[in-house]
Structure 1
Amino acid sequence: MHLTDIHCHLLPGVDDGPDTIKGAGRLLDLMKEEGVERIIVTPHFHPEIFETSMERIQRFHGGLREMARRRRIRLYLGCEFYRCPEMIHLLAEGGRPSMAESSYVLVEFAPDDVYQTVRNYIYELRSQGWKPIIAHVERYECCHRDSRRVRELAELGASIQVNASAVLGKRGVRTKSFCKNLIEADLVSFIASDAHDERGRRPNLGKCARYVAKKYGQDYARKIFEENPEKILRDRRRK
Structure 2
Amino acid sequence: MLVDIHCHILPGVDDGAPDMETSRAMIRDAYEQGVRYIIATPHYRPEMFEPSMKKVIRVYHELRDYAEEVGIGLRLGCEYYRNEQMIRHLDKKLRPTMLGSRYVLTEFSTNDSFVTVRNYIYELITKGYRPIVAHVERYFCCQEPERIQELKKLGAQIQINADSVLGYEGHTIKKFCAGLMKDDLVDFIGSDAHNLEGRKMNLGKCAAYVRKKMGQDYAEEIFVDNPRRIWKSR
TM-score, structure 2 normalization: 0.99
SS at match of 1:26: helix
Measured after TM superposition, the shift of residue 20 of structure 1 is: 1.0
Note the alpha carbon deviations across 1:158-214, whole angstroms, 9 max, x for none: 000000000011111110111011101100000000000000100010100011011
Equivalent residue number for residue 212 of structure 2? 214
SS at match of 1:99: coil
Equivalent residue number for residue 160 of structure 2? 162
Equivalent residue number for residue 229 of structure 1? 227
Note the alpha carbon deviations across 1:41-95, whole angstroms, 9 max, x for none: 0000000010011111000100000010000100100000000011111111110
**How many angstroms apart in 2 are the aligned matches of 1:46 and 1:137?**
17
Q: Percent identity?
A: 52
Equivalent residue number for residue 49 of structure 1? 48
Letter in 2 for 1:26: A
SS at match of 1:100: coil
Equivalent residue number for residue 115 of structure 2? 116
Equivalent residue number for residue 146 of structure 2? 148
Runs of 4+ in 1 over 6 A off after TM superposition: none
Alignment of 1:99-114 (within 5 A): 99-114=98-113
Letter in 2 for 1:129: G
**How many angstroms apart in 2 are the aligned matches of 1:216 and 1:19?**
35
Equivalent residue number for residue 36 of structure 1? 35
Equivalent residue number for residue 180 of structure 1? 178
Measured after TM superposition, the shift of residue 23 of structure 1 is: 1.0
Q: Once superposed, what is the RMSD of the aligned Cα atoms? A: 0.6
Structure 2 residue 124 is the aligned partner of structure 1 residue 125: yes
**How many angstroms apart in 2 are the aligned matches of 1:46 and 1:66?**
27
Equivalent residue number for residue 59 of structure 2? 60
Equivalent residue number for residue 190 of structure 1? 188
Alignment of 1:74-113 (within 5 A): 74-113=73-112
Measured after TM superposition, the shift of residue 34 of structure 1 is: 1.0
Measured after TM superposition, the shift of residue 147 of structure 1 is: 2.1
**How many angstroms apart in 2 are the aligned matches of 1:100 and 1:108?**
17
SS at match of 1:101: coil
SS at match of 2:99: helix
List runs of 5+ in structure 2 lacking aligned partners: none
Letter in 1 for 2:216: Q
**How many angstroms apart in 1 are the aligned matches of 2:55 and 2:17?**
15
Note the alpha carbon deviations across 1:13-50, whole angstroms, 9 max, x for none: 10001111111101111111111000000000000010
Equivalent residue number for residue 72 of structure 1? 71
TM-score, structure 1 normalization: 0.97
Letter in 2 for 1:78: G
**How many angstroms apart in 1 are the aligned matches of 2:37 and 2:67?**
9
Letter in 1 for 2:178: K
SS at match of 2:38: strand
**How many angstroms apart in 1 are the aligned matches of 2:37 and 2:83?**
29
List runs of 5+ in structure 1 lacking aligned partners: none
**How many angstroms apart in 1 are the aligned matches of 2:55 and 2:132?**
25
